[in-house]
Amino acid sequence: MEKSVNKVHSVAKAMHLLELLEAGPLSLRDLSQQSGWPKSTVHGLLNSMRESRIIEQSENDGRYRLGLRLFELGSKISSSWDITAIARPHMQNIALQTGQSVYLTMLDRNEVMLMDYADSGGPLRISADKGSRFPAYCTAPGKAIMANLSGYEVQSILNKGLFAYTPHTILSAQKMKDELLLCKKQGYAVEDGEHRIGLRAVAAPIFDVSGKPKWAISVIGMFRRISDDGFIAAREAVIHAAAIISDDLGYRSLKVHNK
């Protein structure tokens, strides 16, 4: 029994050392000081992890860093995640709650592609085929993803040109950048008749384990105004669902990480 307890304590200590190494390479002395454990204890744990390639030691300065084995394991975990399977229950729930169509999309160059959808079966639902593509800059899911890209990536999309689909389409690159800044601040994007007259949508970005905004979940329908209670309810639903899906995919925001 005592040996089992010691093993559990060793695992907990090893995990703490890995967390310390998240910030970057550290020496044995640094790890001992930051953990508050004797050098002999830390050295023994590091040797065990080094044998498994969980950590690596630099030949130049002897400092320790996270090993490639962690990357290999993380890649295998990521490849086993099916975004559509994870998102579908949330999409179905939102469709039933709102009575509108719910889309799961991903960014592909300057377009968003429909990966999956759910609807309530109502007579006024907006339907589209899987694989359908829409311009990113004038759709809610496209703007939700773009708002979290780097400035260079956004500019690359805008360089492809802004074309008017309706009188409400934003055609100024600067206005679009201002819009994206607002979307990022709010945590969601709104489409107010910019792609199709009479259609309004709201979307929130979904992040992968590395923090990249790879997908978006959105509600699209014939809302009268974006200030309507129904639209506001849809907005809150997609924000909540996107956060849960991102968390299930392994994403940890700074806010979550600091808790």
Q: Are residues 231 and 215 in the same domain?
A: yes
- Which is nearest to 100 in space by CA: 78, 81, 120? 120
226 and 247 assigned to the same domain: yes
* Residue found by looking up tokens 């800044």 in the block: 181
Predicted pLDDT at 255: 47
| DSSP output for 6-56 | HHHHHHHHHHHHHHHHTTS-B-HHHHHHHHT--HHHHHHHHHHHHHTTSEE
What's the pLDDT at 9? Answer: 79
pLDDT of residue 52: 87
Q: Are residues 113 and 209 in the same domain?
A: yes
Identify whether the C-beta of residue 200 lies closer than 8 Å to the C-beta of residue 193. yes
Instruction: Give, for 243, the enclosing helix (H) or strand (E).
Output: helix 229-248
Q: Tally the C-alpha atoms within 13 A of residue 87's C-alpha that lie toward its C-beta.
A: 28
The position carrying tokens 């962690």 is 70
Report the domain count for the chain.
2
pLDDT at res. 77? 60
124 and 33 in a single domain? The answer is: no
Distances in Å between the alpha carbon of 88 and those of 42, 83, 95, 219, 245?
A: 45, 8, 10, 13, 10
Choose the final residue of a domain: 25, 49, 78: 78
Are 91 and 159 part of one and the same domain? Answer: yes
Percent helix, percent strand, percent coil in the chain, to nearest 5? 45, 20, 35
pLDDT score at 3: 47
Question: Is 183:87 a contact under the CB 8 Å cutoff?
Answer: no
Specify the 3-state DSSP secondary structure of 109.
coil
Residue 81: its pLDDT value, please? 64
Domain shared by 212 and 232, yes or no: yes
Given a contact cutoff of 8 angstroms between Cβ atoms, the answer to whether 139 and 162 are in contact is: no
User: Is residue 247 domain-shared with residue 161, that is, in the same domain?
Assistant: yes
On whether the CB atoms of residues 197 and 166 are closer than 8 A, the answer is yes
Dihedral of CA 166/172/174/175: which sign? negative
Distances (CA, A) of 210 to 48, 149, 154, 213, 238: 27, 13, 19, 9, 21
**97 and 213 in a common domain:** yes
Indicate whether 72 and 129 sit together in one domain. Answer: no
CATH code assigned at 25 = 1.10.10.10
Co-location of 177 and 85 in the same domain: yes
Query: Residue 39: which domain range?
Result: 2-78
CATH code, domain with 152: 3.30.450.40
The two counts, helices (H) then strands (E), for the chain are: 10, 8
pLDDT at 96: 93
Angle at 113 between CA 109 and CA 116, to 5 degrees: 150
Residue closest to 242 by CA, chosen among 147, 150, 158, 127: 147
Query: Do 151 and 211 have their domain in common?
Result: yes
Residue where a domain terminates, one of 52, 78, 104: 78
Q: Are residues 194 and 93 in the same domain?
A: yes
Query: Which of 78, 93, 124 represents a domain boundary (last residue)?
Result: 78
Average pLDDT across each block of 10 residues of the chain; the chain has 259 residues. List them in order.
56 91 92 94 92 90 90 65 91 94 94 91 73 94 97 95 96 97 97 94 95 95 92 97 94 54
